[in-house]
Amino acid sequence: MCLFCKIINKEIPSEIILEDDNFIAFHDINPKAPVHILAIPKIHVESFNDVSSDTMAGMTTFMQNVAKEMDIEKSGYRIITNIGDNGGQEVKHLHFHILGGAKLRWEHLSDSNPKSFL
């Protein structure tokens, strides 16, 4: 069973923000911003590549509720999902990073020169 499935089953403790029948949101153990929440479906889906549009529909409403719950809805926030090797995905259970609580940086995300691809 994967790490996040164990968090869903409460075999591994986490600081849960919001939970319903289909989704769960909890604090990232290694936060990259004052607010850093992970929102995941309870069904095991490896990445965004494999998720159904039905699950994403529910995920949308759930993440909107996480933003409200964390009081970052008005101040702004960022949602990121890393996919595969180049995306930097470490945990192979679909998760969305919800980041906020301060002005977020937006910098070059690769060591390659982006203009070399133009």
Q: Is 108 marked active-site?
A: no
Query: Which residues are 23's β-sheet partners?
Result: 41
Rule CB under 6 A: say whether 104 interacts with ligand 5GP. no
Q: Which two tokens stand for residue 7?
A: 């968090």
Residue 88 interaction partner, one of ligand 5GP, Zn ion, none, beta carbon < 5-8 Å per kind? ligand 5GP
Nearest distance in Å: CB 28, Zn ion: 16
Max alpha carbon distance in the chain (Å)? 48
Residue 116 interaction partner, one of Zn ion, ligand 5GP, none, beta carbon < 5-8 Å per kind? none
Among the listed residues 27, 44, 95, 97, the single catalytic one is 95
Q: How would you classify the pairing of strands 23-27 and 35-41?
A: antiparallel
In the sheet with 16-19, reading across from the earlier edge strand, the strands are 16-19, 23-27, 35-41, 96-100, 77-80
Nearest distance in Å: CB 98, ligand 5GP: 11
Interface residues with ligand 5GP (CB under 6 A)?
Answer: 3, 12, 14, 26-30, 38, 82, 88-91
